[in-house]
Amino acid sequence: MKTHLNCPCGEVLTGSDEDVLVERTQAHLAQVHPTMSYTREEILLMAW
Ligand SMILES: [Zn+2]
């Protein structure tokens, strides 16, 4: 189960499970990096 992701901006995103992590990552991208978008598969590839 992957629950952490290091965003290229230096922020570490965490979630209690993969679904939450993907949601939180997409919310972070929308807020901080509106020009970037990743699919669930891409997010989970980068997650750890
Ligand atoms: Zn970021």
Q: Ligand 1 mean position to 13 CA, how many Å?
A: 9
Measured CA to CA in angstroms, residue 12 lies from 19, 38 at distances of 16, 16
Residues with CB under 5 A from ligand 1 (ion): 7, 9, 11, 32
Counting the structural domains of the chain, the total is 1
Q: Ligand 1 mean position to 33 CA, how many Å?
A: 6
pTM of the predicted structure, to 2 decimals: 0.91
Q: Which domain holds residue 24?
A: 4-46
User: How far is residue 9's CA from residue 16's CA, in Å, rounded to a whole number?
Assistant: 21
AA identity, residue 28: H
pLDDT in tens, the chain (48 residues): 999 999 999 999 999 999 999 999 999 999 999 999 999 999 999 999
Residues ≥6 apart with Cβ < 8 Å to 12: 4, 5, 6
